[in-house]
Structure 1
């Protein structure tokens, strides 16, 4: 079977309206993909930068997959949150990106978005805080339902990933 090793880090985020950000992340696969080693999901620490322009997490990613084919290639999905001074967490954006199919080092900027909600929800958000959230977060990486959403762009999550492919040619798997 072919093997894919993903090594890298979630560097941080930029373009969000406030600082004190953290990120929940996960890797989604479909089909005949199995994890040999590593974690498929996690959470970064809260970073409260002094310059208020970019949050730095440098959160490690190290996952080793095995597969019989490329169908269901791994995707990374993110939920970026803001933590206020009282410790309350407010969703600032969802995002996802495909893990590259070519070996080597890749720098990726993953755009994030937030559901815009109804007019009443947006007015409520301005005065009380909080944001519209998805009932089913799986919609983030499944395109069949995502196109129906009305969204607003928020910021970007920055990644650096190293991809190692092994035994793809031996088993006739082509990317």
Structure 2
């Protein structure tokens, strides 16, 4: 009975933080975390992590490559509060201090299959020129105490920011028991590729 009448559905997120494009900066690393609603809970995998430091290659002057793996599974009773991936990139300034080079967020893709997302990044800016100079001199740039605020939006309208760089993330999404609970995230065209034994949906997009 439990198999035919599930009480939750599952969302499995596999993929990797492929890399970033920050023309002005080098020797960067990336932190990530997931933000999700009250009805969601992780059932396996890692909710947050940090990549290695990477520098620009000789073949591509602006591309930074991490290829850092993502692997986690969530369970929920409804799609409200669908998980988001929050990324924040850090690197050294001219004085060797680690400072934030960009924040960004994207929703985990809703449909099963392979997806690629390019996340625009931004950094908070000082309000006054004097603050900008002193923060540069002291190596204390404006940054969020909790990067998860990037995905929430509350209070963001009063924050002055500047666009800066991009981060590329690839996803492989699988879902289970969403249709049994009345949720259909697949397109109307292609036939859904679903295992009859496991019930996991891995439809290619």
Q: Same fold (TM over 0.5)?
A: yes
- SS of the residue corresponding to residue 179 of structure 2 reads coil
Which residue of structure 2 lines up, in the alignment, with residue 152 of structure 1? 162
Q: 2:145 aligns with which of 135, 141, 146?
A: 135
Which residue of structure 2 lines up, in the alignment, with residue 115 of structure 1? 124
- Which runs of 5 or more residues in structure 2 are unaligned? 1-7, 186-205
Q: 1:39 aligns with which of 35, 46, 49?
A: 46
**2:73 and 2:146 mapped to 1: Cα distance?**
27
In the TM superposition, residue 127 of structure 1 has moved relative to its aligned partner by: 4.4
**2:122 and 2:62 mapped to 1: Cα distance?**
18
**1:86 and 1:127 mapped to 2: Cα distance?**
9
Which residue of structure 2 lines up, in the alignment, with residue 69 of structure 1? 78
Larger RCO (alpha carbons 8 Å, 6+ apart): 1
- Output the aligned Cα RMSD: 1.9
In the TM superposition, residue 126 of structure 1 has moved relative to its aligned partner by: 4.5
User: May I ask how many residue pairs the two structures share in their alignment?
Assistant: 175
Of 152-161 and 114-123, deviating more is 114-123
- Higher share in strand: 1
Show the 5 A alignment for 1:1-175. Answer: 1-51=8-58, 52-83=61-92, 88-118=97-127, 119-175=129-185
In the TM superposition, residue 54 of structure 1 has moved relative to its aligned partner by: 1.3
